[in-house]
Amino acid sequence: MSSSVLLLVTALLAADATAPQTEEESAGSAASEDPKSGAGVAPVDLIPRLELRQAFVQSHSGASAHVTTAEIDIRFLNRVLLRYQGPLRVVSTPTGQISGFGDATIEALGLLASSPRFVAVAIAGAVLDTASQPELGAGKQQLLLGGAAGVKPFPWWLPYLIVQEQVSVAGDDTRPDVNQLLVRAGNIIFGRGFSWYKLDFDTAVDFQGNAGRLFGTLEVGSLLIGRIGLFMRTGTQLLGTRQVDYSLDVGVRYLFRLEKGK
């Protein structure tokens, strides 16, 4: 996906169909499923959110990058979630170090259909050419279009699929155009103590470069104090021309509670 990768989008909207309106109703709902587990309420609380995360990426070429990303979600008109992400990058190469702001991402996620066990959303957004130095961004204005769907066969398990097209529409003519299809197949398992475990497989088909790659990512997280959660995730490239050796992210989230749409 983009740098945002739409973490737990389907979890949010799947739970929104049955989200409680009050704290008392929420407590009753959790108790009816598992009073010591996040299966009943964690999907609602995980997003929208405020998030700050630090990522380290080791590329196969020997370069590495530290990326600090601030993210904010805003619920809009009950059925739309707006998301903004702004990264600060520090890239180390054999020739030296480059630091500054990267390309910002703005996305809108609209609810198309939902039931207690199914959800479908539409995704639209843009990657803005806001990098403070050319090496820290793509040098292109890009559009994001796609959709996502998730199903909850059990309260503690949410498999989902996200499909997204990312294409450049303007920018520096000397930089490579962007035209890639991004597909994520993921699973979220909600454990005891309001914890979650997320396994994603991301396929990127680069039409411009005539190449395909497969990445795997595992995330573990938990609510610790109220609506504040900590998480860690690690990933690597599984197939395709080698670009990434491994990545490691750690972060903190403040989780908002949604009210049931009227």
Per-residue confidence (pLDDT) for residue 150, from 0 to 100: 86
Per-residue confidence (pLDDT) for residue 180, from 0 to 100: 96
Per-residue confidence (pLDDT) for residue 62, from 0 to 100: 85
Per-residue confidence (pLDDT) for residue 15, from 0 to 100: 35
Per-residue confidence (pLDDT) for residue 223, from 0 to 100: 84
Per-residue confidence (pLDDT) for residue 257, from 0 to 100: 61
Per-residue confidence (pLDDT) for residue 91, from 0 to 100: 92
d(Cα 119, Cα 260) in Å, to the nearest integer? 15
Q: Which residues contact 161 (CB under 8 A, 6 or more apart)?
A: 148, 149, 150, 183, 184, 185, 186
Per-residue confidence (pLDDT) for residue 72, from 0 to 100: 92
Q: Are 197 and 165 in contact (CB under 8 A)?
A: no
Assign domain 9-242 one CATH number from 2.40.160, 1.10.10, 1.10.150, 3.30.70: 2.40.160
Mean pLDDT for each 10-residue chunk of the chain (262 residues)? 37 34 34 42 50 93 92 83 93 88 93 81 94 92 94 87 95 94 93 87 93 95 86 95 93 70 36
To which residue do tokens 């992210």 refer? Answer: 249
**Residue 100's closest CA among 141, 129, 140, 133?**
133
Per-residue confidence (pLDDT) for residue 47, from 0 to 100: 54
